[in-house]
A and B are shown apart, each in its own frame.
Chain A
């Protein structure tokens, strides 16, 4: 790789990461507005998540004297993980940091962020943080195997564990991509997206009922800049998970070339796909109540089984 090519890649990475960072709150706002309209409410402005984040950045921060360095480091670390992951995922063309886009690395960037969020929830010693953390770990334990299996099934078919390679390969093979294994994997990841983005029926992101919280519970002690970073990171994670799912399983529009026209078309496709999934998430939130906490394993197990079948199907029906 030449010097200038490397420089171009870095520039591209910065552009893509900036793009994801900027788009993420909009997706959140879109889901909220959509839900509000479905409920015959006006709802907050589409741009409200941006205002919120800006507001929190300008606010002072209260840090409990009982907390350790974990609470202080976590927001930056989580945000950093999400920003890094944003560079690894091919959105409408190959990933800018394709050389590092190993899917195991990608998934465990989320894992790292999650572990620190959980630790920060415990760190302040508040009851709600502890409850949120223990529930988050329970959900994580259930989600991770399913997610890894879904990705492995895709990797097996593509013959690579590089996300960028997998997705560009899928997108170039047209309708041949839609094997039974692919469809099973798509069904599996649909469930996992709900769980990973912390939405109903797994977690209720809009609740004020502390006792039912999972993700929100862990953030209760944060304020000011830290809260802004955590909320922003949550939005980014949501967008990345949606992007991963749609680009892996509906890879249309993702191009391998770096020409402007295919990239613009790819961008358009990408936005449509993301908003489509976001709308679906919003609709599910309207129609399903939160599932009882101890029924989550059943829900997640179905994702795991689908993923497992996807791996088998890949070997049986090719």
Chain B
């Protein structure tokens, strides 16, 4: 039984070229894209290119017909080491009588983006077809299935035709993100069978269903293991149990009001998410935020990273019942949350970021309090790591558990800690610097090759340290250059209607990408949230393979992904 091949239904057909060496020379889209498109057109293909310049990040946008989408992507991937950042569906029938899909690609070691855009003419139901790129880019799996669930756009040649966002109890034909769907409508609950693929059936293989309701207070997620004895040969994970319709909700809202919905999409990454949303708006409006606000944003983002990472370090220990470590981690996290509340009025840093700047600043006393806490935390972090990694039993459990292979991490589009622990060197703070990160960079971005729980643990440890240093530097700059009460924000101004923009920020879990399109009068026309958890969940089943069942909670905690980031 070769579970490795059986489980992985989505293999890249023609493996995309990959940067073999992390120090590979930079790829310049500027030089390559026009030639590539020209060659495509010469061969009889259709494509039109455009170019945009947004806050230092150049974007290439290429329009291709839906029927040759995958062919064109294959053509591109032969020469360019692209990775998928996000994919957005858009219902534009009112304006142009068609649906649109945007595939946003990034290039490692480059600040440029490439957006492949396609148009699907509205017609008789069932004719909304386009060529799926999932066989080519496995990371596109969920995005394309989601576009089918929410818009009814059918990816042809997609290897996994099951639903993903709307479970089977949603009636057929309900397409919540279409413009003519009333967000207040509550579809009836249709009882239907589960649709699990029993791809690993056979003698001695036991299916273990876990969740969506768990023994602890955990968000809903269903994990279906196929195991031989204790060894996991397949894991199917299903999420999206509590679809909230956040993206539908903000459509038509004023951008300044929508920010209150956006920031509450997920508590653990509220700063980085709101930041990405606001940056996208500021890109569109050409708003230049006060430098003081840019530094404050960096401070908030790093404070968010700190409490998340410190809490995660402890929480990983809970997966193996190591109480000394998990309680210590909880204690440190609580100290940081309490600090957040004292300094900024919110334990989880809600309500700090707004379009055009920030809502609250830090006075001298606050900066000092933060600095002292950071010194304290630097010591405490060392002690915590000593306590945890000084225990041979812990190290034994961490090592070689839940290995995520470098190739899986790359092809499935992993981001953040999960990617960096598996040798995929990506960090938005360095790759696409935003705000104050253009001036201040983390001293180092740790990257490890092993991809096991231990590696993910070490990456977090190191990032706590670099975050502390970065924060201290930022405070230094603020003390030297900024008064106590400078302007915190500037007005956003009028945004051009029906323009799209996206922005990437690095949260504690990895890159968050927020894509938005404006409507008339500073409203939102379409908004697409892709947080780090959305990108990383598909890699968890890969990391779990061939481990034993009782190690799953540990592996899961080492990724520490968020469920509500999926239930948008």
Q: Is the CB of B397 within 8 A of A289?
A: yes
Q: Is the CB of B323 within 8 A of A127?
A: no
Q: How far is the CA of A201 from the CA of B207 in the complex (A)?
A: 27
A155 surroundings in chain B (CB, below 8 A): none
Q: How far is the CA of A129 from the CA of B443 in the complex (A)?
A: 50
Task: Give B196-227 as 1s and 0s: 1 = Cβ < 8 Å from A's Cβ atoms.
Answer: 00000000001111100011100000000000
Indicate if A208 sits at the interface (CB-CB under 8 A). yes
Q: Is the CB of A207 within 8 A of B321?
A: yes
The residue from A208, A289, A293 contacting B394, defined by CB atoms under 8 A apart: A289
Residue of A nearest to B393 (CB): A289
B331 surroundings in chain A (CB, below 8 A): 40
Q: Is the CB of A211 within 8 A of B210?
A: yes
Q: Is the CB of A204 within 8 A of B324?
A: no
Task: Give A30-47 as 1s and 0s: 1 = Cβ < 8 Å from B's Cβ atoms.
Answer: 000001000111000000
A204 surroundings in chain B (CB, below 8 A): 321
Task: Give B61-97 as 1s and 0s: 1 = Cβ < 8 Å from A's Cβ atoms.
Answer: 0000000000000000000000000000000000000
The residue from A40, A127, A211, A289 contacting B321, defined by CB atoms under 8 A apart: A289
A-B contact count (CB 8 A): 78
Which one of A13-21, A249-257, A280-288 is at the B interface? Answer: A280-288
User: In the assembled complex, how far is the CB of residue A291 from the closest CB belonging to chain B, in whole angstroms?
Assistant: 6
Given contacts A289-B321, A292-B551, A294-B548, contact A131 B327 (CB under 8 A): no
Given contacts A127-B208, A131-B208, A294-B548, contact A209 B322 (CB under 8 A): no
Among A106-138, those with CB < 8 Å from B are 127-128, 130-131, 134
Residue of B nearest to A130 (CB): B206
The residue from B209, B216, B397, B549 contacting A208, defined by CB atoms under 8 A apart: B216
Scoring A35, A134, A292, A295 by chain B CB atoms within 10 A of each residue's CB, the highest score goes to A292
Q: Is the CB of B209 within 8 A of A212?
A: no
User: In the assembled complex, how far is the CB of residue A252 from the closest CB belonging to chain B, in whole angstroms?
Assistant: 32
Among A183-202, those with CB < 8 Å from B are 200-201
Q: Is the CB of A200 within 8 A of B550?
A: no
Among B431-448, those with CB < 8 Å from A are none
Q: Is the CB of A292 within 8 A of B397?
A: yes
Among B307-329, those with CB < 8 Å from A are 317, 319-325, 327
Q: Is the CB of B393 within 8 A of A131?
A: no
B322 surroundings in chain A (CB, below 8 A): 288-290
Q: How far is the CA of A35 from the CA of B324 in the complex (A)?
A: 10
B239 surroundings in chain A (CB, below 8 A): none
Scoring B207, B393, B551 by chain A CB atoms within 10 A of each residue's CB, the highest score goes to B393
A208 surroundings in chain B (CB, below 8 A): 214-216
Residue of A nearest to B557 (CB): A209
Indicate if B553 sits at the interface (CB-CB under 8 A). yes
Q: Is the CB of B396 within 8 A of A211?
A: no
Other A-B pairs beyond A131-B208, A289-B325, A289-B394, 6, CB < 8 Å:
A200-B321, A204-B321, A208-B215, A209-B215, A289-B322, A293-B548
Interface residues of A (CB under 8 A from B): 35, 39-41, 127-128, 130-131, 134, 200-201, 204, 206-212, 220, 285-295
22 contacts between A and B (CB under 8 A): A35-B323, A40-B327, A127-B206, A127-B208, A130-B206, A131-B208, A134-B229, A204-B321, A209-B215, A209-B553, A210-B214, A211-B208, A211-B210, A211-B553, A285-B321, A286-B323, A288-B391, A289-B320, A289-B325, A292-B396, A292-B551, A294-B230
